[in-house]
Amino acid sequence: MNKVGIYYAYWTHEWEADFHPFIDKVAELGFDILEIHAGVFANLTGAERKALKAHADERKLEMTYCIGLPAAFDVASKDEATRNKGIAFLQAQAKGIGEVGGGKVSGILYSSWPALMPEGETDKRPYLENSINSMRKAIRAAEENNVVFNIEVVNRFEQYLLNTAEEAVAYVKAVDSPNIKILMDTYHMNIEEDHIGTAIETAGQYLGHVHLGENNRRTPGYGHIAWDELASSLKKINYKGALVMEPFLMPGGQVGRDIRVWRDMSVGVDLDLEARKALQFIRGKLAAAR
């Protein structure tokens, strides 16, 4: 069965965090994966990264990595210097993760997050072309370091370049590397796609990672996401990759502001208990998929 994980920021107000306590917490809750912030991981020393990986290995936990590139590293920018900074940033991330054996980096790696199309413009093709050309350079570092870049399809309010599985497939084909795949997220699919199952099947062989979250960003089971449809489509395409929960309940701090959490959905909620229940819920859906 697919490995199931959770994003550390479910419990935090800030992106910057010590990941060691979350390794223990997530392992004790029964998850297979802890997903952490790729930018924070990249800023650790080599020794700190290796210590984190050793801790995860000790707890029999896999680590995956996620980030939305800051505007200063926008690989789709019209400014060449900004694109070059972004390419170097992605290359450095690939190298750092390669030092601990490689892995998956997922998120808005193809531009910046959040981002709107520049005012007065309606044609995103020049930005897509810039992004693809930048990614063709950055992906070499991923290939050399056993790293896969999973580009995340997100909703129109957070990014403008890739909003559907169909657009992401075209992007991946244009980059043309075995080390670039697609991340599909149930929260974003709920907004942009006609059907979650169709979107998963469109991504097909290019699907490299899946994020799980309700339409209201709660843990799975507390909204109207079509979980049976998702599980069935994942089985249909024979998806063997990871599924990582990415719920956000708490306002405040940089996490709450960036995710736009304006009401406290954690009141009266035992976050650990809900995470464990959501894990059982998802594993049940995967096991029952037809």
d(CA 29, CA 89) in angstroms, rounded, equals 33
Q: Which of 253, 258, 284, 280 is nearest to 6 (CA)?
A: 280
Answer whether the bond into residue 220 is a cis peptide, omega within 30°: no
Q: Which two tokens stand for residue 216?
A: 């209201």
Q: Are the C-beta atoms of residues 22 and 8 closer than 8 Å to each other?
A: yes
Q: In this structure, which amino acid lies at residue 250?
A: M
Closest by CA to 211, choosing from 238, 232, 195, 190, is: 190
Residue 287 confidence (pLDDT): 97
Going along the chain from its start, the domains and CATH numbers come out as 4-288 (3.20.20.150)
pLDDT at 1: 85
From first to last of the 290 residues of the chain, give the pLDDT tens digit. 899 999 999 999 999 999 999 999 999 999 999 999 999 999 999 999 999 999 999 999 999 999 999 999 999 999 999 999 999 999 999 999 999 999 999 999 999 999 999 999 999 999 999 999 999 999 999 999 999 999 999 999 999 999 999 999 999 999 999 999 999 999 999 999 999 999 999 999 999 999 999 999 999 999 999 999 999 999 999 999 999 999 999 999 999 999 999 999 999 999 999 999 999 999 999 999 99
Query: Considering only CA atoms, which of 143, 148, 147, 138 is closest in space to residue 87?
Result: 138
Q: Are 75 and 134 in contact (CB under 8 A)?
A: yes
**Catalytic machinery residues:** 152, 246
| Rounded Cα distance, 42 and 54, in Å | 16
Beta bridge partners of 68: 108
Burial classification of residue 136, based on how many CB atoms lie within 10 Å of its CB (0-12 exposed, 13-18 middle, 19 or more buried): middle
d(CA 39, CA 36): 9
Residues 6+ apart with CB under 8 A from 203: 165, 168, 169, 182, 184, 237
